[in-house]
Structure 1
Amino acid sequence: MSTTVTTTAHAPSAPLRARAEIDLAALRANVRALRALAPGAALMAVVKSDAYGHGAVPCARAAVQAGATWLGTATPEEGLALRAAGLPGRIMCWLWTPGGPWREAIEADLDVSVSGMWALREVTEAARAAGAPARVHLKADTGLGRNGCQPGGDWEELVDAALRAEAEGLLRVTGLWSHFACADEPGHPSIAAQLTRFREMVAHAEQRGVRPEVRHMANSPATLTLPESHFDLVRTGCAVYGISPSPELGVPADFGLRPVMTLSASLALVKHAPRGHGVSYGHHYVTPGETTLGLVPVGYADGIPRHASGTGPVLVGGKWRTVAGRVAMDQFVVDLGGDEPEIGSEAVLFGPGDRGEPTAEDWAQAAGTIGYEIVTRIGSRVPRVYVNGEQDG
């Protein structure tokens, strides 16, 4: 098993205070499992937000090795960084604001998203300056109410203007796309309504003369449960990292997926405490009897949710413990119940669950959020340690 460490400073020679171990073999297996679930579509691995906290470049490379033919990012800067790192193939970025790096994206051969006339004007101006056509995906708002062009006159105007720019050689409409609002809620009425609207908006664009390379709408939950939404391309984000989109859909193993990140820390202190001892800020936890306390040296500055104070689970010495009192900026305490693990022992906050440790979903439930947020918020102060970097087999 190969191991590399990525950290904000030099790779440490001493044991790490904390580490987020990223299993690239698990990521590759997840991509292959997702491809099998959508055999008629190409697969985009979404690596926005530093690959949901896992590290964009190593994860993108692993995804491409496993057969992802597209990579997706939110911001153009994220897409440009992938291209600068030598990532091949198609890279799409979709979250644009006025004055964005359109020309740089065109020159880097990125696919860009256009949701309205202002963006179409800016990308065509950039294409003129670059002397090369832009690769453009027109986004339809089919009901999510975020980015995208509304059906009706706005969509018709955008499609016709894009076709005129295409006729001038300023762009190529390479994609038509949209995004679900409630694909993680099985049976929600908006799912069928959005699919119908997307088909109608695609049909209009194609009747007007658009010939896209890909039509795409499926995110991770739709990829897992809605084969009718797969079209030409599926955009898989959290599922690539072995995170279930929602408990209602099932746990990762139900879809042949395995969590990629394991977050652990080394106990910084173990000490005896008497009955009635207040623990951490505000004394929201008071020891019910004589006990031992363990200090876990990570806190909300590392991305540990403060909302999980008093509820967050941790595996120490083979037993589940719970955060005792408030999570502080750099540390929190667990009540060890009289056990005395050695200082420096491993405290596992979450992982795949193989060793009985909590999962990211357990932390999500403890903090009242979703698994995506738990992994994405783990900060850069926690080194990413990459294992199983070589291609399988």
Structure 2
Amino acid sequence: MPAANRAEIVVDLAAIRANVRRLRELAGVPLIAVVKADGYGHGMVESARAARDGGAEWLATATIDEALALRAAGDRGRLLCWLTVPGEDYAAAIAAGIDVTAYSVAELDEIAAGATEAGLRARVQLKVDTGLSRGGAPRADWAAFFERARAGELAGSWKVTGVWSHFACADEPDHPANDQQEARFHEALALAEEAGLRPDLRHLANSAAAVLRPGARFDAVRCGIAVYGLDPAPGHTQDLGLVPAMTVRARLAMVKDLAAGDSVSYGHLWTADRPTTVGLVPVGYGDGVPRHASGPHHGAEVGVGGKRRPIRGRVCMDQVVVDLGGDRPDAGEAVVLFGPPAAGVPTAQDWAEACGTINYEIVTRIGGRMPRRYVDSEVGR
């Protein structure tokens, strides 16, 4: 870490490439690498390039703006986006060759107008709601939705390139919703075929389903968190051979002694029951460190000097305090908030469990004032 940096996020692009290769091997079908939300905190453009290099046939973002940013950065491969509101600039997406997603007849009508404005035939994917009850056409609307989609094809407004849906409970492999959703997706595909639609791509599986539900793989799998090396279904998967790409590092700002009875940080959540030493780490919730990492007894841990050190007291906006257990490392010594398990440091999953959340949130929210630095362990830099 450069000496001037108080803290940084280090992303190993080789890990992303290797994870994509591994997921394609596991799934046996083309892979759609999801790089929304700034690549789950890893950097959208850089993660996208690494995923392409690893063999991802498709990329996916949530918004049109994200997809357009990838095009502006030079990506020319197949690219899907899916989250829009009325009045979106569909013409720009169509002109850039981006596959846009429709949830409703009203969205299809807007896409038709965008295709006319762009003077091009759109590439449209249809999302159906099979039980997540979030985005996607509800069951009662499927017939009209598919009929309008086919009419638009015949009119030359678009080509329907895909039909897809999303699991609610794939990270719980025994949840009955999984079988129900897969059955409903088959029903949707049959109705789409009856309407005359012949999509190139049928996709349902997210990272967890890509690994745990072979029957849900269809023509492609959409992998997000697994691309970045994190377990999509903790407790339900064997070692998948994935490598976490993100390491979050900082440097101790100071070290001080505490006496028994001294209390730490706002609200005096923690009081030392013995003499100890503590270190000040210059990151906090302003940098995306969850305030829930605080804990009176079992908060999150960081790595200092080859040992795990617990956070003591409340996480503040700009700093946290860690218990050094009587050791006295120098100010400036490296601190690892989380990183790959092979490094012997706390992981994003460890932090998720300490904070009562999921690893997705840990890596996606981290950042704030921390610069992001890219390395490539395959080429030694």
**Is the CA contact (8 Å cut-off) linking 1:20 and 1:263 kept in structure 2?**
yes
Q: CA deviation at 1:101?
A: 1.5
1:307 to 286, 292, 297: 292
Deviation of the 1:15 alpha carbon: 3.1
Cα 1:81–1:324 shift into 2, 3 Å: same
Q: Secondary structure at the match of 1:218?
A: coil
Conservation of the 8 A alpha-carbon contact between 2:8 and 2:249:
yes
Shift of 1:286: 1.3
- Which runs of structure 2 are paired with 1:61-80 in the superposition (5 Å)? 61-80=49-68
Indicate the residue corresponding to 1:289 in structure 2. 274
Counterpart CA distance in 1 for 2:310 and 2:187 is 51
* Corresponding position of 1:32: 21
Which residue number corresponds to residue 49 of structure 1? 37
TM-score of the superposed pair, with normalisation by structure 2: 0.96
1:255 alignment partner, one of 230, 240, 252: 240
Q: Deviations over 1:262-311 (max 9, x none)?
A: 11100000112222111111111112222211001110011111011020
CA contact under 8 A between 2:9 and 2:367: conserved in structure 1? no
SS in 2 for 1:144: coil
Q: For structure 1, which runs of at least 5 residues remain unmatched after alignment?
A: 1-11
Q: 377-386 or 88-97, which moves further after superposition?
A: 377-386
Taking a change above 3 Å as real, the CA distance of residues 279 and 376 of structure 1, as seen in their structure-2 partners, is: same
Matched residue, 1:5: none
Query: TM-score, with normalisation over the residues of structure 1?
Result: 0.94
1:211-262 deviation per Cα after TM superposition (whole angstroms, max 9, x unaligned): 11100000000001111111111100000001111222236xx111111101
Q: Deviations over 1:149-202 (max 9, x none)?
A: 1124x1110111111111111111000000001111011111111111101111
Are 2:266 and 1:264 aligned? no
Which stretches of structure 1, 4 residues or more, deviate above 6 A after TM superposition?
Answer: 389-392
Q: Provide the alpha-carbon RMSD of the alignment.
A: 1.4
How many correspondences in the alignment? 377
Farther-moved stretch of structure 1 (287-296 vs 261-270):
287-296
State how far apart, in whole Å, the 1-side matches of 2:110 and 2:346 are.
47
Question: Partners in 2 of 1:381 and 1:109 — Cα distance?
Answer: 34
Question: Is residue 205 of structure 2 the alignment partner of residue 205 of structure 1?
Answer: no
Give the aligned partner of residue 163 of structure 1: 150
> How many Å separate the matches in 1 of 2:78 and 2:245?
24
Q: Is the 8 A contact 1:21 1:385 kept in 2?
A: yes
**Secondary structure of the corresponding residue to residue 29 of structure 1:** helix
Q: After TM superposition, give the deviation of residue 355 of structure 1 in Å.
A: 2.7
Distance in 2, matches of 1:262 and 1:295, equals 19
Question: Partner of 2:363: helix, strand, or coil?
Answer: helix
Bigger RCO (CA 8 Å, 6+ sep): 1
Corresponding residue for residue 343 of structure 1 = 331
Alpha-carbon separation, structure 2, partners of 1:20 and 1:14: 14
How far is the alpha carbon of 1:382 from its aligned partner?
1.1
Equivalent pair of 2:288/2:368 in contact (CA under 8 Å): no
Query: Percent identity over the alignment?
Result: 55
Unaligned runs of 5+ in 2: none
Q: What CA distance in whole angstroms lies between the structure 2 residues aligned with 1:316 and 1:391?
A: 27
Q: Which amino acid aligns with 1:25?
A: A
Hey, what does 2:119 align to over in structure 1?
131
One-letter amino acid matched to 2:7: A
Aligned to 2:134: 146
Q: Which residue of 1 aligns with 2:174?
A: 187
Contact 2:249 2:337 in 1 (8 A): yes
